[in-house]
């Protein structure tokens, strides 16, 4: 015995060999004279050094295998620098000593949702003490364990909580018993390997404490979860290894430590389910910037698979915002000094313990989910080769690989730009960049049923209860309309001032015509900051609607052919996915109307004309450039060629016939690059700017309710109708090349949203044969948007000079307008001019035409002086000679009505006004 201060200590000589092949040295191990220690602390020595130490209740622990593992690791280095480092480290390794559990001061700190105060226990707390605690045996229990040089720290009165406190609060929200395992004393050894070895003893202490809980409260091991960071992950693994017959339920390793854990460590056999999240595993990473490919602190985490499921976020190292070798990092060191170095050194490693609380936010229905995909390598994952299917009961499976590749075509540099951001907000943007399937159970998609027999709606999930369906006023004898909104939208009804959302207006329209109506509200998945997240989930929403329809079929024997689907933007694409579910059964949906179906993300897999018996698409914001008639430069505004919102709608043919309203973009009243728009945007602020930007896209939602006004007067001969005409392109339509419905009437279609005529079986056959058919019409800026279309056909002798024509039409009222006159190579004896008016002009009975050459035309004429005979003839002849004019009324689907308002005009030989050429109706015709 020796005296150390006022204490007696026992001196025990222990032989330790620095080099197993070299001489032995004797060290004095000082152990405080303590009766409890002398009873429980035993030593077993051999000539090769310290082999084993045993502690009552916990068992024995050998350092030999651990030392041998580290020795092999370090002495395997070949170069001089590594050899020197290995020699220095070996000196530390050989000083490894198992700590006495009593002196570790490991605390088990209990938190429960029912108590505001924590309770602290030693690992060997007795049963009576535990019974007096706030522990609730019928709830799940989690143990959270920190890593090297860390400890449990409660939330400060102001400022951000430390990670263990955050995770503790996360589990408390879900009503867990939470134990924070604080083993700071052994975890803070200057010698990392000493702390690493002692994870075995701390793990045994955790297991001992759990077994006491089991004996005291009959807790089930499968209801226990262990979560540890770095060394704490291996503590959890060593705890799990001590349960052989009934295993721990779940172990989660947060970037399990690497050095010292090549063999004995966290393993899949340690629990029923073991997961590991690697965030600093490996010192190299594939990066565009070669400097950032070196991960200085990538050795902290373990590079080996350790679990049933090993997650490798961003390949397992080099987390976004944690770059160590970059100009930004160097600037931080200059401004912050060593603090910046320490913060960046642990950034990747610490990211693992930030993810659990990030997951808490992502549990919300409209949030992205952190989903890992099985893959052979990160490069293959980045290439989109490993994005597997996600399957949901009743809905089927969904594969996002092709969609992710398609997304990158639109914004090839966006992902890199987001990853290069270094501030905290970049974490949010990186999450938002993910394409994740929305869980149908958490998406809060609502199906609101309305019928003509009830003033109240009934709300269902996508799996409606048959008994509840039977109790509603749904009638299987009626047709049923499903309405679906698009991106960042939702069903909103009417406000206190009587202003109704477009879905409400359309619902009321169809209810008035004796339909069952189901409004589908999926606003949570539709509101993601990442449009492509919402776009991908259109597939899942479509499957949910299809499942609802199947319930109608099962409960009421309902025919899918009596179903009509109407969707705007992403909703239009959703309806295509609904229809695809019924194509497989040869029992197709009756009718789909796509209201400006969304474009981005739907280049290959989208709404198609085969998705229903009849599919129509109404395009209002398709294309970034508007087709403008360049022949009339006097009214040409170059700014209006650019359609800032033109990317929202698809430019593809997706219906049996596609109607391109005003060419499919740049709707009247929706100018986004004019001076008036800029003034309105400045006055209205961001909200007004957003509304104006979406104006053309939203015009598609306004047309159905506007049609209601027109339909109510449909039997009246003078009612305007949206008759669209087949044409090769919009410019040809504007130039009057497309005004004939054809002998069979198939070259024009009536834009309507209850298309009874076209749904007749005999007509459907012809429609399917005619795909694709592009149809054009013009509208005005205000409801009900309809314009009366007239085609004016001039029958002339050959005209040699360009000019302008002023038309004066006399019908129910007198109108005047001008049109450019261009020379034609094809059929130079007829010139067509399209004229539209918001008023019905009736039959045109008289017309006056004034022709004026442009400067170019006059110059061409007077250059004829170079040919004297031709010049004399041209000076004496009229610049234009018109033999007759046809005025063709276009705005009615009934040919007899069109004919009744059409007319042929002939020259008025009695006109002596001298003002142009006067024509009157040919009464003989």
Residues identified as active-site: 230, 255, 349
Burial class from Cβ neighbours inside 10 Å (0-12, 13-18, 19+) for residue 263 reads exposed
Look up residue 101 and give its two tokens.
């559990």
Q: In residues, how long is the chain?
A: 925
Helices (H), 16-79: 35-40, 64-75
Q: Which residues pair with 516 in a beta bridge?
A: 480
Cα of 760 vs its chain's centroid, Å: 39
Rounded CA-CA distance 193/866 in Å is 104
Rounded CA-CA distance 880/861 in Å is 13
Q: Report long-range pairs for 454-459 (Cβ below 8 Å, ≥24 apart).
A: 457/519
DSSP annotation of 798 = P
CA distances to 105, 725, 747, 750, 888 from 741, in Å: 91, 7, 4, 11, 11
Helix (H, G, I), strand (E, B) or coil at 289: coil
Look up residue 786 and give its two tokens.
């309809």
Rounded CA-CA distance 164/151 in Å is 9
Rounded CA-CA distance 324/881 in Å is 82
CA distances to 193, 289, 293, 317, 427 from 284, in Å: 24, 12, 5, 8, 22
What is the rounded (10 degree) CA torsion for 239, 244, 250, 256? 40
Signed CA dihedral, 389, 392, 397, 401: sign only: negative
> In 10 A of CB 10, how many CB atoms?
15
Cβ-Cβ contacts under 8 Å for 557 (sequence gap 6 or more): 476
Look up residue 651 and give its two tokens.
């430019």
CB 274 within 8 A of CB 208: no
Cα of 456 vs its chain's centroid, Å: 33
> In 10 A of CB 855, how many CB atoms?
9
| Nearest C-alpha neighbor of 658 from the set 570, 774, 576 | 774
Sequential DSSP letters for 141-199: EEEEE--TT----PPPSSSPPPHHHHHHHHHHHTT-EEEEEE-HHHHT-SSHHHHHHHH
Burial class from Cβ neighbours inside 10 Å (0-12, 13-18, 19+) for residue 716 reads exposed
Helix (H, G, I), strand (E, B) or coil at 91: helix
CA distances to 311, 339, 351, 641, 769 from 345, in Å: 21, 10, 11, 53, 66
Helix (H, G, I), strand (E, B) or coil at 312: coil
Look up residue 760 and give its two tokens.
């007749």
């Amino acid at each position: 015995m020796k005296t150390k201060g006022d204490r007696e200590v026992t001196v025990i000589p222990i032989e330790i060999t620095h080099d197993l092949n070299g001489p032995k040295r004797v060290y004095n191990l000082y152990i405080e004279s303590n009766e409890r220690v002398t009873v429980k602390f035993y030593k077993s020595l051999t000539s090769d050094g310290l082999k084993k130490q045993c502690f009552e209740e916990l068992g024995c622990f050998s350092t030999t295998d651990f030392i041998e593992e580290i020795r092999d690791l370090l002495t395997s280095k070949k170069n001089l620098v590594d050899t020197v480092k290995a020699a220095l480290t070996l000196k530390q390794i050989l000083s490894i000593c198992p700590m006495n559990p009593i002196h570790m001061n490991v605390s088990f700190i209990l938190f429960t949702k029912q108590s505001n105060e924590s309770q602290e226990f030693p690992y060997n707390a007795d049963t009576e003490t535990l019974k007096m605690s706030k522990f609730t045996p019928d709830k799940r229990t989690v143990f959270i364990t920190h890593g090297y040089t860390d400890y449990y720290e409660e939330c400060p009165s102001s400022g951000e909580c430390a990670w263990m406190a955050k995770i503790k609060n996360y589990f408390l929200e879900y009503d867990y018993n939470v134990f924070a395992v604080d083993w700071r004393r052994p975890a803070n050894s200057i010698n990392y390997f000493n702390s690493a070895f002692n994870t075995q003893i701390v793990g045994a202490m955790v297991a001992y404490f759990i077994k006491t809980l089991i004996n005291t409260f009959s807790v089930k091991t499968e209801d226990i979860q262990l979560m540890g960071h770095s060394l704490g992950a291996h503590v959890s693994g060593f705890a799990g290894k001590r349960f052989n017959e009934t295993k721990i339920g779940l172990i989660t390793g947060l970037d399990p430590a690497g050095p010292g854990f090549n063999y004995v460590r966290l393993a899949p056999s340690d629990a029923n389910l073991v997961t590991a999240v690697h965030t600093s595993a490996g010192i190299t990473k594939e990066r565009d910037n070669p400097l950032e490919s070196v991960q200085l602190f990538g050795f902290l985490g373990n590079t080996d698979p350790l679990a049933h499921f090993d997650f490798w976020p961003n390949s397992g190292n080099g987390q976004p915002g944690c770059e160590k070798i970059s100009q930004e990092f160097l600037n931080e060191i200059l401004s912050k000094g060593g603090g910046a170095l320490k913060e960046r050194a642990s950034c990747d490693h610490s990211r693992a313990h930030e993810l659990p609380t990030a997951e808490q936010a992502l549990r919300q229905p409209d949030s992205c989910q952190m989903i890992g995909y099985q893959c052979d390598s990160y490069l293959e994952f980045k290439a989109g080769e490993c994005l597997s299917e996600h399957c949901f009961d009743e809905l089927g499976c969904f594969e996002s690989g092709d969609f992710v590749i398609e997304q990158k075509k639109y914004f090839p540099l966006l992902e890199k730009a987001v990853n290069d951001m270094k501030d905290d907000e970049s974490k949010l943007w990186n999450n938002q960049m993910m394409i994740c399937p929305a869980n149908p159970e958490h998406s809060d998609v609502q199906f609101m049923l309305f019928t003509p027999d009830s003033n109240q709606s009934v709300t269902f999930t996508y799996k409606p209860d048959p008994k509840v369906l039977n109790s509603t006023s749904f009638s299987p004898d009626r047709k049923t309309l499903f309405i679906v909104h698009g991106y960042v939208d939702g069903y909103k009804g009417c406000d206190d001032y009587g202003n109704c959302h477009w879905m409400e207006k359309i619902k009321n329209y169809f209810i008035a015509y004796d339909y069952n109506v189901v409004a589908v509200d999926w606003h949570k998945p539709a509101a993601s900051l990442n449009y492509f997240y919402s776009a991908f989930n259109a597939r899942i929403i479509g499957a949910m609607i299809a499942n609802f329809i199947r319930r109608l079929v099962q409960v009421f024997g309902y025919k899918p052919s009596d179903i009509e689907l109407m969707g705007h933007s992403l909703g239009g694409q959703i309806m295509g996915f609904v229809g695809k579910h019924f194509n497989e059964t040869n029992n197709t949906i009756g009718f789909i109307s796509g209201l400006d179906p969304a474009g981005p993300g739907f280049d290959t897999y989208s709404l198609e004309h085969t998705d229903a018996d009849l599919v129509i698409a109404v395009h209002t914001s398709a294309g970034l450039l508007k087709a403008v008639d360049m022949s009339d430069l006097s009214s040409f505004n170059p700014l209006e060629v650019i359609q800032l919102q033109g990317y929202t709608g698809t430019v593809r043919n997706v219906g049996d016939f596609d109607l391109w309203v005003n060419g499919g973009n740049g709707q009247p009243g929706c100018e986004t690059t004019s001076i008036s728009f800029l003034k309105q945007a400045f006055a209205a602020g961001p909200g007004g700017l957003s509304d104006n930007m979406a104006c053309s896209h939203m015009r598609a939602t306004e047309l159905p309710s506007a049609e209601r006004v027109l339909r109510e007067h449909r039997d009246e001969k003078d009612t305007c109708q949206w008759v669209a005409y087949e044409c090769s392109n919009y410019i040809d339509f504007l130039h009057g090349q497309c005004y004939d419905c054809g002998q069979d009437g198939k070259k024009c279609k009536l834009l309507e949203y209850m298309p009874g005529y076209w749904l007749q079986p005999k007509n459907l056959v012809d429609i399917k044969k005619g795909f694709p058919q592009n149809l054009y019409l013009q509208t005005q800026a205000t409801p009900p948007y309809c314009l009366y279309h007239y085609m004016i056909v001039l029958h002339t002798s050959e005209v040699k000079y360009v000019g302008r024509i002023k038309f004066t039409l006399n019908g129910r009222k007198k109108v005047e307008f001008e049109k450019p006159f261009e020379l034609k190579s094809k059929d130079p004896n007829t010139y067509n001019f399209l004229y539209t008016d918001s008023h019905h002009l009736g039959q045109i009975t008289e017309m006056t035409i004034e022709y004026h050459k442009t400067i170019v035309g006059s110059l061409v004429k007077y250059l004829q002086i170079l040919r004297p005979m031709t010049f004399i003839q041209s000076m004496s002849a009229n610049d234009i000679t018109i033999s007759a004019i046809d005025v063709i009324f276009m705005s009615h689907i009934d040919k007899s009505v069109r004919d009744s308002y059409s007319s042929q005009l002939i020259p008025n030989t009695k006109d002596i006004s001298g003002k142009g050429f006067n024509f009157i109706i040919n009464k003989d015709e």
